[in-house]
Chain A
Amino acid sequence: MYSTKYVKATNVNKAASIIADAEDGKFLAGGMTLIPTLKQRLASPDLIIDLSDCKLTGIEDEGASIRIGAMSRHIDVAESVLVQNAIPAIANLASQIGDRQVRNRGTIGGSLANNDPAACYPSALLGLGGTIHTQNRSILAEDFLTGMFETDLEEDEIIIGISFPKPDKAAYVKFPNPASRYAMVGVFVAKFSDGVRVAVTGAGEDGVFRASNIEAALDESFKANSIIDGLVSADNLMSDIHASAEYRAHLIGEMTRRAVIACG
């Protein structure tokens, strides 16, 4: 690892002003993405600003939505009774991320700020049409997720919390890569009174995306057998050593059927 400096900020405004003064600073949340990246020498920030003392935890019921603090760890979300009751699909998603040790450290804010094309949370954000709150503004999911590993965040902008509207029903089903547990394909299906939203992660060349064909089919009839073969095209899907674009297209159909069944 390249040498770097480490500081702990005691609040969000201090963290933002510290990063503004650094040449190439990086925020540190759970470190489950950032530290492996530093170990591989894929990044060389001169300063690491730990957000763990910025009091960004806590999960609240806002009535029509729930709000999860950015530093809530995957284990906190998975075990939260509030989340389990309000949007069980999110608790279930969190319980499937990586392994127990990753869940004991990794955070929702870190996962969304990173927007890994195979990460789980971006599909919940897009599938539910959630909102990212930073110290400066609120950003809708569609505006926040700008591409693979890309978001609308400014350098000194910190995610403080995320709101997710409560759906009538929702489920997340993933086909995990057996080694890393990241999604080879993950599908988040959410049924609201005004329509169905379906977000797909692990498959798109530009990261997580909404599958409009599938949404239309499920709007017509919310049943697993509405997802017929050939509905999902392999265009613009990733091909890599783990799976071809055609196989991913097939998995999207299958994971969607399973998610619709899991919605009950």
Chain B
Amino acid sequence: MNVNGNSATHEVPDNTLLVTFLRETLGLTGTHVGCDTSQCGACIVHLNGESVKSCSLFAAQADGATITTIEGIADGDTLHPMQQAFHENHGLQCGFCTPGMVMSAIELVTKNKNLTERDIREGLEGNICRCTGYHNIVKSIQAAAEKMS
């Protein structure tokens, strides 16, 4: 598969999850694991441009696919507008949920124009944050949506 623009070819056991492949085989530990019930969204990455929970997918299912993780969105030292907006709007506290939030939010903003606050809150159904109360995350996404449009 192609991960963040680099080709990645490895032999792994058949039951390897995509998140395990990313974290343990490729050393890309920005993608987190926050639950074992497929509900928290800390593990969200993009598979061929769509957001998916990498804890609920076998690496083998992504054979030949293009994967983007949180490590692959900045342009050198310049943060992605979504990362910059989280930074400026205090959209994180401990940061554990943040990689999944950012990847989920990028898809939300790219696929939808004129997002309302309600759309954003509903669009974060699959992401759980235990620190922020979501308020500043929503503000961050609103700010990024303006820059990305």
| Interface of A toward B, CB cutoff 8 Å | 1-6, 8, 28, 31-32, 35-36, 38-40, 48, 50, 52, 98-102, 104-105, 179-181
Whether A3 contacts B13 by the Cβ 8 Å rule is yes
In the complex, which of the residues B41, B53, B108 has the most CB atoms of chain A within 10 Å of its own CB atom?
B53
Q: How far is the CB of B49 from chain A (nearest CB, A)?
A: 10
Contacts of B39 in A (CB 8 A): 179-180
Give the distance in Å from the alpha carbon of A105 to the alpha carbon of B56 in the complex: 9
In the complex, which of the residues B15, B51, B55, B123 has the most CB atoms of chain A within 10 Å of its own CB atom?
B15
In the complex, which of the residues A3, A48, A104 has the most CB atoms of chain B within 10 Å of its own CB atom?
A104
Q: How far is the CB of A97 from chain B (nearest CB, A)?
A: 10
Whether A52 contacts B61 by the Cβ 8 Å rule is yes
Give the distance in Å from the alpha carbon of A50 to the alpha carbon of B126 in the complex: 25
Give the distance in Å from the alpha carbon of A4 to the alpha carbon of B14 in the complex: 6
A–B complex contacts, Cβ < 8 Å, 12 sampled: A6-B15, A31-B58, A35-B38, A50-B60, A50-B61, A99-B127, A100-B125, A101-B41, A101-B51, A101-B52, A104-B51, A179-B39
Whether A181 contacts B37 by the Cβ 8 Å rule is no
User: If the complex has contacts A3-B15, A104-B50, A104-B52, are A39 and B36 also in contact, measured as CB distance less than 8 A?
Assistant: yes
Contacts of A3 in B (CB 8 A): 13-15
User: If the complex has contacts A36-B37, A39-B36, are A99 and B126 also in contact, measured as CB distance less than 8 A?
Assistant: yes
Whether B51 contacts A36 by the Cβ 8 Å rule is no
B44 is an interface residue with CB less than 8 A from chain A: yes
User: If the complex has contacts A35-B38, A36-B56, A39-B36, are A102 and B14 also in contact, measured as CB distance less than 8 A?
Assistant: no
Contacts of B55 in A (CB 8 A): 39
User: If the complex has contacts A3-B14, A98-B126, A104-B51, are A31 and B37 also in contact, measured as CB distance less than 8 A?
Assistant: no
Give the distance in Å from the alpha carbon of A36 to the alpha carbon of B58 in the complex: 11
Give the distance in Å from the alpha carbon of A28 to the alpha carbon of B37 in the complex: 18
Give the distance in Å from the alpha carbon of A3 to the alpha carbon of B58 in the complex: 12
Give the distance in Å from the alpha carbon of A255 to the alpha carbon of B104 in the complex: 31
Interface string of B86-124 (1 = CB under 8 A from A): 000000000000000000100110000000000000010
Contacts of A179 in B (CB 8 A): 39
Question: Which B39-68 residues sit within 8 Å CB-CB of chain A?
Answer: 39, 41, 44, 50-53, 55-58, 60-61
Give the distance in Å from the alpha carbon of A102 to the alpha carbon of B53 in the complex: 8
